[in-house]
Amino acid sequence: MTGKRTATSDLWWKNAVIYCLDVQTFFDTDGDGCGDLVGLTEKIDYLAGLGVTCLWLMPCYPSPERDDGYDISDFYAVDEKLGNLGDFAEMLRTAHDRGIRVIIDLVVNHTSHLHKWFQSARKGRDAPYHDYYVWADEKPENEAKLVFPGEETSNWAWDDQAERWYFHRFYSEQPDLNTANPAVRDEIAKIGAFWLALGVTGYRIDAVPFLLEEVSGVAADGKDPHALLRELGTYLTRRRGDAVLLGEVNLPYDKGIEFFGEYGDELNMMFDFRLNQSMFLALARRDVAPLVKTLKELPEIAPECQWTNFVRNHDELTLDQLGDAEREEVFAAFGPEEDMQVYGRGLRRRLPSMLDGDDRRVRLVYSLMFSLPGTPALFYGEEIGMVENLDVEGRLSSRTPMQWSDGPHAGFSSAPEGARLCRPLPEDHAANVADQRRDPHSLLNWMERLIRQRKECPEFGWGKLELLHTKGAVLVHRCVWDGTAVVAVHNLGDEPATVTLPKDCTEFRDLFGDDDAEPGEKITVEAYGFRWFRAGGHH
């Protein structure tokens, strides 16, 4: 396919505010200790008030929970502990009524080993679904990179019933699908169309490079691996003009950019892992140089495509694109103890813990992330400064229940006191929505304002980036779009800093206060301070 598949779309994702949550840890209404879709529906107004325009739901499908719901046993249903399809449809209706689009995880690089396809596939080479998976008679010598090092020792697992080896990138309970098989591609398209018909607006596609990888035969049989993404995008957009595909692609820019497609006809959005990791290195050093280097390397992308920026996603804070010495710097600054780290490549802490609860630095980081070129994404609880629970193993340490009040179970569940929750709360769960709503100076109220301001500055989502000051601890950048401009100033250092504003504007209107400035004026930015200005008369 040539041309652009977004002609019927309004490119709403260019200026969205995305909020990621796991239904089971958000709000429990039936007292079983597990969040549910009815609970999420009750909290849609909270999300609308926060300013969220796109809700991203982690998997809601039936699952044996070997990988927190990413091991899926039925792509066409809702896990019964969360509710049913009727509850899902009611949640969607409520979200749409409040102006919030909903995207869900599309996890089709593998299934659970309990999925009916794999159960059929195990019955032998002639079984109906045998070719849905990747098999070998002899265990191959060449191993692919393990996603969970230390938890799995090989990408190949023996199946006694099939009497063959099957391939898996993740846990052995998650056999990889053979995406070279046209029947598998048809299934993926049907899954996508099913949830669009229910009312979702698109998908966050899990582990995109693994979906297309050569070991499943996609490249080996002469097919273009990226054709799968182009076909899927075209197919889904025909069914819904504003459908979006947001991809998890943690690769260097020169490889990652291929997933947008030559004409912007593959993924619409991609998480910017490189920028995220550079930001944390810059924070650790209190020096903007790593961030500036990455911003200068940002490749040109098609106008309908977009980077998605984040402070913390739902996995570990991965640092795998940094050099070994750089990674050690970030570890030393933000997670020096072994139980704060995971897989030798990342941190399993939330931001307030990493910054020792320094509210100035927490706000600085979110101001910076929201002003970098792209679309901002929040992980639930970030808006109130939730911390992790390191007693919960692995990546799940940051997926603890949402903290709504200072009541039992932090207001998350109506279960009796002492009852077991789906996941234990952190020992320090004082941060909560109810208290912060009453405090005009709280992180929550500030975050609402930040989100509102970001939505009023489409230049950050649509505009051309200009780096104005890139020395030491201070970054000044400008985004210009359609004849308008915004300027953001961030001081990563622990000392006040002075910078000179550009002269090629008529005025600088302060967007977070009343401290306007003149063109060419020297302004002082406090330690860990930040300023946003609307630049009038930019030319």
Kindly list the catalytic residues: 206, 248
Rounded to the nearest 10 degrees, what angle do helices 85-97 and 182-198 cross at? Answer: 60
Asked if residues 113 and 174 have their Cβ atoms less than 8 Å apart, the reply is: yes
Chain position carrying tokens 């958000």: 26
Considering only CA atoms, which of 4, 533, 524, 77 is closest in space to residue 262?
4
At residue 3, the 3 state secondary structure works out as coil
Rounded CA-CA distance 231/233 in Å is 6
DSSP bridge partners of 34? none
Cβ neighbours for 500, distance < 8 A, ≥ 6 positions apart:
469, 520, 521, 522, 523
**β-strand pairing of 18-21 with 375-379:** parallel
- DSSP secondary structure of 364-418: HHHHHHHHSSSEEEEETTGGGT----TTS-GGGGG-PPP---SSGGGGSB-SPTT
- DSSP secondary structure of 6-58: TTT---GGGG--EEEE-GGGT-BSSSSSS--HHHHHHTHHHHHHHT--EEEEP
Chain position carrying tokens 């459908």: 243
Token pair belonging to 376: 């901002």
Give the strand order in the sheet containing 484-491. Answer: 464-469, 474-481, 484-491, 530-536, 507-510
Rounded CA-CA distance 457/467 in Å is 17
Rounded CA-CA distance 445/449 in Å is 6
Cβ neighbours for 295, distance < 8 A, ≥ 6 positions apart:
275, 372, 373, 465, 467, 477
Is residue 202 within a helix (H) or strand (E), and if so which, with residue range?
strand 202-205
Q: How many CA atoms lie within 13 A of 138 on its CB side?
A: 3
At residue 423, the 3 state secondary structure works out as coil
Rounded CA-CA distance 24/26 in Å is 6
Considering only CA atoms, which of 372, 351, 348 is closest in space to residue 360?
351
